[in-house]
Amino acid sequence: MADTIGAIDLGSTKIAVVLGNVMEKNVEIIGFAMSPSKGIKYGVIVDIQEASNSIKEALNKAIKIAGIKNISRLYAAISGEKITAIPSRGMIIVKSRDQEVTEKDVERAIDAAKATSIPPDREIIYHVVRGFRLDGQDGIINPIGMIGTRLESDLLLVTHDKIQLRNIINTLEKAEINIEGFVPQEIAAAEAVLTPEEKNLGVVMVDIGGDLTNLAVYREGCLYSIGILKLGGERITRDLAITLRISTEEAERVKKILGTLKDDEEEETLEVTSLQERKIRVSKSQVREIIQPRVEEILEFIQRKLQELNSPIEIIPGGIVLTGGTALLDGIDEFASNYLKIPVRISAPSQMRNFLGEKDAVFYSSAVGALESFLKTTTFEDKNKKLLDYLKETFNNIFRPFKE
């Protein structure tokens, strides 16, 4: 019988859920759904009740579509400024008589890297194994079966603020959901939309969401760094609303219908209702004049962030792969390519294209990527003791003196 797993993407503008059956090392998508996100801002829970209702709504829709009753495991893709990534190395001595590296040796080396000191207010939620070194030899992907004495692991540890993480857990529990593990949205989205060739060449995945833009930088096939910008597509919508003096709902409609960054488009107009309840007509060229400066700002912030991550855009041969809702803005790939002078393409999970087509599939990049991340070994922090149980115990210990 197939093992049914699911992933929930906790976005600030939408909650996306994907359910799938595990078939060996692949996932067959059997259900998916989205609901408007409430109670989450910039990846932070601001209203537990509202957020839990949004999550429950999306999950129930997906379960109904899938026609199932039980889900074996659920994972959550999360984002926010509280997420940080730090490189870490661990070293062990191979203990077998013939000095052949075993799976246990690999696990010990990984655990040694994870044992690095981190601030007490933070918790490791995810890690990426970037490679190994055996007796000084670099670039080893899988050392099992090799002969050596000194095995070192190279990890990227992703940490999250414990208090904010506890709020996310409480929200999920209120929605009657037990989450098995977390994956950062940028890593999940990259897993869903990047090709192995792009990772090997060197590429940046940019997921432009509603209020956050997530970046994942890959070099020589490995995740090099991640970054988050407190800027997204909602700024474009707000610019339209303020300039045209219309509601945000009308501004979103204008953006979807007339929004373009191409300057050779035929002129079109759209009738909208102003805040004064008057009917006005808005032109495509008028909309372009409003949205272009904001898109340029987002691109400049991306360029600046990559400099901070020691990955200037000039040294990324594969350029940028865009995903997320704002990637649907007409002409953004060509505009970004010309503006940044690098290759830019738009991508969505191939599994979702079969159901929704290229456009709507971009909304499920992080959810699908979270499922694919689960299938990889040694990814989630749940080997000996589930992360959630550990956090509950930690919080009980912290607050027990105040309860007694």
CATH number at residue 396: 3.30.1490.110
Q: Which residues touch 2 (CB under 8 Å, ≥6 apart)?
A: 21, 22, 23, 28
Domain assignment present for residue 7? The answer is no
- pLDDT for 2 equals 66
Q: In terms of domains, do 231 and 341 share one? A: yes
Res 379: pLDDT: 37
CB atoms within 10 A of CB 150: 14
Residue 338 lies in a domain: yes
Residues 312, 393 share a domain? no
Q: 95 and 142 in one domain? A: yes
Burial zone of 131 (CB within 10 Å; 0-12 exposed, 13-18 middle, 19+ buried): middle
Residues 235 and 321 in one domain: yes
Task: Write down the pLDDT at residue 263.
Answer: 86
User: Which CATH number belongs to the domain containing residue 273 in this structure?
Assistant: 3.30.420.40
Which tens digits make up the pLDDT trace of 234-260?
999 999 999 999 999 999 999 999 999
Domain shared by 90 and 140, yes or no: yes
Q: Is residue 333 in a domain?
A: yes
* Residue 399: predicted pLDDT: 47
Please report the pLDDT score of residue 356 as a whole number: 85
- Mean residue pLDDT of the chain comes to 90
* pLDDT for position 384: 38
Whether residue 393 sits in one domain with residue 310: no
Q: Single out the residue in 300, 330, 346 at which a domain terminates.
A: 346
Query: What is the reported pLDDT for 72?
Result: 82
Give the domain-ending residue among 329, 346, 363: 346
d(CA 58, CA 34): 5
Identify the pLDDT of residue 388: 57
Domain contains 8: no
What pLDDT is attached to residue 71? 87
- Indicate whether 229 and 333 sit together in one domain: yes
Domain boundary among 346, 361, 395: 346
In terms of domains, do 316 and 390 share one?
Answer: no
Q: Which positions of the chain have pLDDT values less than 50?
A: 377-386, 398-404
How many separate domains does the chain show? 2
Within a domain: 330: yes
Is residue 275 in some structural domain? Answer: yes
Instruction: Looking at the structure, tell me whether residues 327 and 383 fall in a common domain.
Output: no
- Are 145 and 248 within one domain? no
In a domain, 95, yes or no: yes
Instruction: Kindly report the pTM of this predicted structure.
Output: 0.88
For 129-147, the pLDDT digits (tens) are: 999 999 999 989 999 999 9
Domain extent for 291: 224-346
Confidence at residue 396, expressed as pLDDT on a 0 to 100 scale: 55
Looking at the domain assignment, is residue 289 inside a domain? yes
**Residue 158 and residue 254 in one domain:** no
The full 3-state SS of the chain, as one line of letters, equals CCEEEEEEEECCCEEEEEEEEEECCEEEEEEEEEEECCCEECCEECCHHHHHHHHHHHHHHHHHHHCCCCCCEEEEEECCCCCEEEEEEEEEECCCCCCECCHHHHHHHHHHHHCCCCCCCEEEEEEEEEEEEECCEEEECCCCCCECCEEEEEEEEEEEEHHHHHHHHHHHHHCCCCCCEEEEHHHHHHHHHCCHHHHHHCEEEEEECCCCEEEEEEECCEEEEEEEECCCHHHHHHHHHHHHCECHHHHHHHHHHHCECCCCCCCCEEEEEECCCCEEEEEHHHHHHHHHHHHHHHHHHHHHHHHHCCCCHHHCCCCEEEECHHHHCECHHHHHHHHHCCCEEECCCHHHHHHHHHHHHHHHHHHHHHHHHHHCCCCECCCCCCHHHHHHHHHHHHHHHHHC
Do both 324 and 283 map to the same domain?
A: yes
